[in-house]
Structure 1
Amino acid sequence: MRAIRGIRRWRHNPLRRTTDLVEAWLALGALVLILVAAPLTGLLVGRLAEDALQRSVREQRENHHSVVATVVRRADRTPLDPDPETATGRDSHSRVLARWTAPDGTARGGTAMAALDAPRRGDRFTVWTDRSGRMVGRPLDTATASTHAVLAGVGTAAACAGVVEGARRLVLWRMVRRRYEGWDRAWSRVGPDWGRTGTGS
């Protein structure tokens, strides 16, 4: 609204400079881009991200399988394990050696993180594997994928708005510098004779 008022105010003003009108149109153009183009770009990126992430969710659901593993024994602690004295988000998980049957029917085994406080031989827990039985991460769920897509869209819209505003400020700064340089040139031409008109000197 301020940009529109600025354009109306300067349009017929006899003191209006060309740069004043350019500044007003620049502000209006930036406002339109921020209110229209940035949200549309964010929406487009969000939809593209949603499609890609949902496709990834479907692929992971097809390729990742939940199988039941059996604890063979507790695994030895390694230097990479968290300090037992500190409380972390992994405190409820234990490193164990386990065996499981792959979706293709082959027997598999290895080190896994079990969601067990005090695992004992024979305890069961769930692991995620690929078709051949190699351990993989838990598949991405639909809600998490949608959340990531929304964040991507919002972030893109905010970045676009920031770029537009930054470009507007840069152009405005250049215009103001050019204006000051013009004033300096005009003052250097008139300044030495300032105040001497009509003094007879």
Structure 2
Amino acid sequence: MRAISGLWRWRHNPLRRGTDLAEAWVALVALLLILVVTPVVGSVVGGVAQDALQEAVREQRESRQLVTATVIRKLDRSPLDADPETSSGREVRSRVLADWTAPDGTTHQGSVMAALQTPHRGDHFDIWTDLHGRIAARPLDSATATTHAVLAGTGAALLAAGLIEGTRRLAVWRMVRRRYAGWDRAWDSAGPDWGRTGTGS
């Protein structure tokens, strides 16, 4: 808004300098770019991210399956154990030795985290595996993918706005530096005695 009022104010002002009008034009162009370009950048990046993430959701749903594992025995849990599947650190999980049958029919055995507070031999619990029975992370869900896409689009829009504003500030800074340099040259050409009594001024 200041850019538009600046242009209007300097239109016919006899004290207007070229740099004043140029600064107002730069501010107006930057404002228009922020209003037009940043939403487009955000939409494009968000759309591309959404397509890629939803494709990842489909691929993970096809390549990962929930299978039932059976506890063989409980294992000692290290305090450094961290389960990326838990949404809260308060959710109780135990490290156990378990066996399971993969979607391709092969049997597997290994150390896994079970959502059991006190696991006993023979207890059943669900784990995610790939089609060959290897332990896999929980597949990405569609809502989480959409959230990530929105965040990516918002971040891209903010970055574009920051770049435009940074470019505007750099352009204005260069104009001010040029104006000050012009003033310095004018003062130098006036001489060191400018304005003193008896120097002919």
TM-score, reference length from structure 2:
0.91
1:192 aligns to what SS in structure 2?
Answer: coil
Runs of 4+ in 1 over 6 A off after TM superposition: none
Equivalents in 2 of 1:164, 1:187: separation in Å? Answer: 35
Equivalents in 1 of 2:138, 2:64: separation in Å? Answer: 8
Give the % identical residues: 66
- Does residue 96 of structure 1 match 2:96? yes
* Structure 1 unaligned spans of 5+: 83-87
Cα deviation, residue 78, structure 1? 3.9
Q: Considering only aligned residues, what root-mean-square deviation do their CA atoms show, in Å?
A: 1.8
- Does residue 182 of structure 1 match 2:191? no
Q: How does 1:7-18 map to 2 (within 5 A)?
A: 7-18=7-18
Equivalents in 2 of 1:91, 1:50: separation in Å? Answer: 30
Equivalents in 2 of 1:98, 1:124: separation in Å? Answer: 9
Cα deviation, residue 105, structure 1? 0.7
Residue 125 of structure 1 aligns with which residue?
125
State how many pairs are aligned.
196
Cα deviation, residue 4, structure 1? 1.1
Equivalents in 2 of 1:75, 1:64: separation in Å? Answer: 25
- Does residue 137 of structure 1 match 2:132? no
Residue 6 of structure 2 aligns with which residue?
6
Equivalents in 2 of 1:199, 1:122: separation in Å? Answer: 108
Evaluate the alpha carbon distance shift between residue 200 and residue 78 of structure 1 in structure 2; reply closer, same or farther with a 3 A threshold.
Answer: closer
Residue 57 of structure 2 aligns with which residue?
57
One-letter code of the match for 1:59?
E
Equivalents in 1 of 2:173, 2:117: separation in Å? Answer: 62
TM-score, reference length from structure 1:
0.91
Contact 2:77–2:94 (CA under 8 A) maintained in structure 1: no
* Structure 2 unaligned spans of 5+: 83-87
Cα deviation, residue 79, structure 1? 6.5
